[in-house]
Structure 1
Amino acid sequence: MRPFAFARADSVERALECRRGEPTGAFVAGGTTLLDLVKLDVMRPARVIDINALPLKDVERLHDDRLRIGALVTNTDLAYHPDVLADHPLLSQAILAGASSQVRNMATVGGNLMQRTRCPYFRDPTAACNKREPGSGCDALTGVNRMHAVLGGSDRCVAVHPSDMCVALAAIGATLSLQGPNGEREVDVADFHRLPGATPHLEHELGDELIVAVTLAPPLKPLGAAYVKLRDRASYEFALASAGAMLSLDEDLIGEQRLPLGGVATKPWRCHAAEALLAGKRADTAAFEEAADLALADAAPLAHNAFKIPLARQAIVRALRDAARAHREDDT
């Protein structure tokens, strides 16, 4: 591990001051991603700023029924928060599907949003990776790419976005509050993570700033929600394919609907066309299969991951089926 300077901040202003002038500086809270990557010599921060003392650990109900979540709220506390369980069950399910209880106890909301890919070529400093070293190439394109993306990739990068929490946020809708030297601004969560295109090293819209909060959109009610995560083993494993579903039904006809995917794309993936197709249809297997086919119509498999397409199709159909069942059970 390379040496780095270390500082502790007790306010957002102090954290930003410590970061100023250090383009490779990094904030640390739970550290569940950062410390791994520093040990691997993938991330090389000149200064690490501990932000655990910042007052960003509250979940607050706003007057318009939105939920404002401090960036330092742990994944465990968020998943079991009464307002999240009642109004945003998809978020709770997605968080609890990720990592282990020990990691969830440490990992934070802000850190989860900034989570880096688990692509083995990105995590290997001897491999070519445009995300880690722009212009070096992408060994995943011709290498072992079983875990890589079939949606949203480019000829520069096909690394999968790893977060389960962000898949749920893509469905719910949220704004991120970012604070920097020029004050605070808000970014829609759908616009925060970038597609790789020709610049895979530019992963998000965060500048010289700190994520201070996530504000969830007002809940959809009535609502059925389900998160299906398919992976090589039942726990502590990243998704090969995952799907979240949120549905409201009126006499078994689909009204509001949300369908995001994880494990198959280079960013949290919202299936807008498939959602539009579902609107007004009867909530049955035929409609769910049609939506799954449309959601994956543009999938581009690599040499070793074509299996992800039928796998994601299964995840979509199961998530929609389970969400519809949850809605019907809530109505009884």
Structure 2
Amino acid sequence: MPKDIHLTAADIRSLRAENPKLRIRDFATQHGLSEAAVLDAHIGQGVTPITADLTTALAQVPRFGKVMALTRNEHVVSEVHGVYGEYRAGERAGMILSRPIDMRYFPRHFVRAYAVERHTDEGPRHSLQFFDHSGDAMHKVHLTGASDASIWQDVVETLRVDFRPADYEPRPLPEAPKENYDKADRLREQWAAMTDTHQFLGLVDRLKMNRLGAYRVAGAPYVRQLDTGAVMEALEQAALREVPVMTFVGNQGCIQIHSGAPQNIKVMGPWFNILDNGFNLHLRTDPIAEVYAVEKPTRRGMAVSVEAFDAMGELILQIFGVRTREEDHYAGWNDIVRALPNAAVAV
């Protein structure tokens, strides 16, 4: 139960006024609140409820021009600057396929949204923010100095909805690894028959496993457990060799993909940062518990990835080589992955 569940909206505003520069996520965690609950307390004070329907909301974002897309989970943040392309809605998932804004959305997790205007020492800051049933942020769109902020109020009025107070659900626990060694042979047979990486989750679900459980079971030649520092080493080598990679950062509501060779890497304590023009990645390294090199067959060759998980079995991020029209792998990336060190003690 949240420790400060008794706080009124006025209490939250008062506490926030005492810590205006603290990041909202950190403030919410400090007081046992969700981010969305903090915003609820500020309705009418720079915060406006807007529709969480992605087809409607994301249709407005290209009007701003260049913005910053932010997607995160507990351990990693991806920030990509660019212009949003057309949102393509699907039955279960939607997508934006433009570059550099390359997104996959799962709309059922988008239940509340807000237009947020904050006044800072550097001037006003504007963003559209989307949340799930637990009040956790799924995705945020931040205007920058390159955005057209003159249309902000028009967009807000277009998307505005009535405020509906809500009780937020407890955050669901991550699904534990589901392993089934009795079906190891069937897993490897069906793995070998894959022709597209998108077949993988359906395959393991049919075998009553999940991603991490299947990786633990499959073993060579498709999966190799790596040292927990392999993620950082892979990105450092990609920067050194100028090898383009695709970083996948996501949560239950969306996945944000960035393609390009890392350039400016900075390590600050437990944080591994890529601070490139147009792309920032902030990865907390100490929660990394398991890392795997994974090869999945496709019609265009092997898709090779490095994937990191935390101690609860939750996926932190995935890294692939940038695909070409002809192949689902990139020779330079494959060389990097082959040289990564194995785990000292495998799970």
TM-score, normalised by the number of residues in structure 1: 0.25
Q: Select the structure that is richer in strand.
A: 2
Bigger CA radius of gyration = 2
TM-score, scaled relative to structure 2: 0.24
